[in-house]
Structures are given as structure tokens and as C-alpha cells.
């Protein structure tokens, strides 16, 4: 008899963006700038107490987030990045293999992984031809076995955003008996006034969970801090299944310090927004298919040429993220690094 679950043999592995010495990394949607000095100072101060266990309930950051968003602290759950909260959502909703987690595809590659780890079944609905969530089709795909729905907006890796109108219609169609997670990891880069803002809807929908992170706009990808805003019951359940002490003292201190300089960090997001427009328009002018993006990356739909394009970029010391056979995701970086990417794209012959 095997000591290990047999289904783990077919578990897809999460593939991180490559990092090669001497090459420019545009594969992980990281912010190229380091955290501000005040954040680094708070991290260093917290590191001095590294001999002690962190706060189990992440109380200081929870209180700070509650104040930031005007919600009761009991409605917030903090986790080791929003990915860990995705896995916790599967744990609190799915009990057996017939339970289903529904999400669009292609979307965040962690969704099928956390679903399988939770021993549940993944159900996917294709994106539309313009690389957006087909929320009507997703609502139609809900069955009596559906326990959790993941909606990523802006969608990773295509960058497209769900509108508030279509998301409210979706929630009304799905009804209150299925938990819906709106993954807003790239929320701070959204400029479309029609795009959904989960925190504006969470009070009216007890089955809605909004996920956000400090990994992107707040420049703390290496510290691993994310959070969920939900009903008190859902947030309590998320905290129950959270691994003890999974959010370090250093991570909590860094996140709090980042919130203190939020205006500075979000101002830098505006610079990324300007660059993503330039990058997309240049790629479109070169004949590429690039959907509108509300994130800090662009999606280049290349089909069967995906691997060849990634290899061509690597020859130019540029690392992009291929998702064969669909396309590549490219982080919008500094103007200088973006220029190198655009130069490589214009010399690609397929």
C-alpha cells in the first residue's frame, strides 16, 4: 500500500518565473524598484526579534487593514501571500473529490494546483475570444457540486478586467450558496472606471471573498503577505485552517510600513500604467495580438510561436513567461527594460 496519495503523481507543478544571472527578468510581474527606505528599516527592526515567534493572529496588520477599509477586524484574514488564501478557500469549502472549484482558463496557474491539493475537482470555462472571463458561461457551469468559484480580475496572465456590472449580474445569477472569490492581486494598477472593485461589493454579498496582496504594488513579493476581506464567518474559517505562524514578524512589519507610505507606492503604479500603454501600442503596431491590460504586465497571444518567441527573447538576455501553446506574459518594467523587450519583439521572425 502506498504511503502517499496516488493523485499527487499528476499534480501540476507551479512553475516560477525563471531567473538567470545577467538576464533581465520580465517573467514574474515583480516591481523592479525595492521597497522604500522606511519599509526596509521596519523590516530590519523586526528581523532583530527573529528569535521569537511571530504574532499568531497577525493582530497589528489585521487592525491596520480594518482601519484602512473601514471594516471590522473579524472580517479580515491575513495569509502567507494570497496564494495560500486560495488554498485555504478550497479547504474550507471542499470536503470530497466530487466537490468542484470553478474558474476560467487560462487564468492564474495556482488555481488548479490548490484545487488538487485540496482533493477537489477543477472545472474550467474558456476565456472569450478577446481573452476575458465569460461570466455568463461560468454561471451556467455552476452545478450542485460547485463549492467555490475563482474570478481573477485583472486576469493573470491576460490582464483583462471584469466590469462591475457583469460581476454583479454574475453574483445574482450564481446566488448566495456558492462562495465566490474575487482575486484582485493587481487591483492597484486598475484605471478602468468600469472595472469591478470587490471591496465596494463585499458588504452586500456574504458569499463574496476579496483577495489582495502586498506582493505587487507594495513591492513585498519576497515577504509573502496577502489578505482576504469577507464575511466574519468566512474570515474566521480561513483563520482556522491557516498554518500557525505562517506570516512572519518581518512580513507583518513590512506590510504595515508599506501602508504608511501607500501614496508613494501607488504613485509609482501610475508610471507603470503609462508604460503599459506604450508597450502595448508598440506591440500592436508591430502586428502582435495584445489585449487591453489593467495589470502590470501584457499578454502577447502567440499560439504555436510561444516557445520560439520566449527563446528569441532569452537570446537577447530577456526572460519572459511562456504559457505554451497560448502566449507569453511580459512584465511591464522600467522604460529602459521595456525598450529592450520591444526591440526583441520587433526582430522576432517566428
**Span 15-54, pLDDT tens digits:** 777 777 889 999 999 999 999 999 999 999 999 999 999 9
Tell me what pLDDT residue 3 has: 84
Tell me what pLDDT residue 141 has: 98
Q: Under CATH, which number does the domain 6-34+263-346 receive?
A: 3.90.1150.10
Residues of the chain with CATH 3.90.1150.10: 6-34+263-346
Q: Burial, 13: exposed, middle or buried (Cβ in 10 Å; 0-12, 13-18, 19+)?
A: exposed
d(CA 254, CA 276): 27
Q: How many percent of the chain have pLDDT more than 70?
A: 100
- pTM value is 0.96
Tell me what pLDDT residue 1 has: 62
d(CA 153, CA 133): 9
The string of pLDDT tens digits covering residues 160-185 is: 999 999 999 999 999 999 999 999 99
Q: Name the band, by pLDDT with cuts 50, 70 and 90, for residue 75.
A: very high
Q: Name the band, by pLDDT with cuts 50, 70 and 90, for residue 60.
A: very high
Put residue 40 in one of left, alpha, beta given phi > 0 → left and psi -120 to 50 → alpha: alpha
Q: Name the band, by pLDDT with cuts 50, 70 and 90, for residue 69.
A: very high
Residues of the chain with CATH 3.40.640.10: 37-260
C-alpha cell at 18: 525563471
Q: Is the pLDDT of residue 298 over 70?
A: yes
* Cβ atoms 339, 280 nearer than 8 A: no
Helix (H) or strand (E) holding 241: helix 232-241
CATH fold label, 37-260: 3.40.640
Q: Is the pLDDT of residue 9 over 90?
A: no
Tell me what pLDDT residue 10 has: 79
Q: What is the DSSP letter of 243?
A: P
Amino acid at each position: 500500500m502506498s504511503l502517499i496519495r496516488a493523485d499527487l503523481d499528476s499534480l501540476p507543478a507551479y512553475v516560477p518565473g525563471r531567473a538567470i544571472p545577467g538576464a533581465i527578468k520580465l517573467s514574474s510581474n515583480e516591481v523592479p524598484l525595492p521597497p522604500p527606505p522606511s519599509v526596509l528599516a521596519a523590516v530590519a527592526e523586526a528581523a532583530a526579534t527573529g528569535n521569537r515567534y511571530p504574532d499568531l493572529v497577525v493582530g497589528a496588520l489585521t487592525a491596520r487593514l480594518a482601519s484602512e477599509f473601514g471594516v471590522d477586524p473579524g472580517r479580515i484574514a491575513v495569509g502567507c501571500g494570497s496564494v495560500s488564501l486560495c488554498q485555504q478557500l478550497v479547504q474550507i469549502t471542499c470536503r470530497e473529490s466530487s466537490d468542484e472549484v470553478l474558474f476560467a482558463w487560462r487564468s492564474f496557474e495556482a488555481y488548479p494546483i490548490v484545487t488538487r491539493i485540496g482533493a477537489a475537482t477543477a472545472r474550467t470555462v474558456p476565456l472569450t475570444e478577446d481573452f476575458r472571463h465569460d461570466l455568463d458561461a461560468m454561471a451556467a457551469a455552476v452545478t450542485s457540486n460547485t463549492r467555490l468559484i475563482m474570478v481573477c480580475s485583472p486576469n493573470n496572465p491576460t490582464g483583462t478586467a471584469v466590469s462591475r456590472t457583469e460581476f454583479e449580474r454574475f453574483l445574482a445569477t450564481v446566488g448566495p450558496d456558492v462562495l465566490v472569490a474575487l482575486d484582485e492581486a493587481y487591483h492597484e494598477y486598475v484605471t478602468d472606471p468600469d472595472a469591478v472593485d470587490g471591496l465596494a461589493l463585499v458588504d452586500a454579498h456574504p458569499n463574496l471573498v476579496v483577495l489582495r496582496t502586498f506582493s505587487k504594488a507594495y513591492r513585498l513579493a519576497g515577504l509573502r503577505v496577502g489578505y482576504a476581506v469577507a464575511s466574519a464567518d468566512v474570515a474566521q474559517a480561513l483563520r482556522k485552517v491557516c498554518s500557525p505562524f505562517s506570516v512572519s514578524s518581518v512580513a507583518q512589519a513590512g506590510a504595515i510600513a508599506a501602508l504608511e507610505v501607500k501614496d508613494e507606492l501607488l504613485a509609482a503604479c501610475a508610471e507603470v500604467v503609462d508604460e503599459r500603454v506604450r508597450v502595448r501600442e508598440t506591440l500592436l503596431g508591430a502586428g502582435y495580438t495584445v489585449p487591453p491590460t489593467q495589470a502590470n504586465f501584457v499578454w502577447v497571444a502567440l499560439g504555436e510561436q510561444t516557445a520560439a518567441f520566449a527563446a528569441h527573447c532569452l537570446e537577447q538576455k530577456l526572460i519572459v513567461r511562456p504559457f505554451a501553446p497560448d502566449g507569453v506574459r511580459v512584465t511591464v518594467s522600467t522604460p529602459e527594460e521595456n525598450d529592450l523587450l520591444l526591440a526583441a519583439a520587433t526582430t522576432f521572425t517566428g
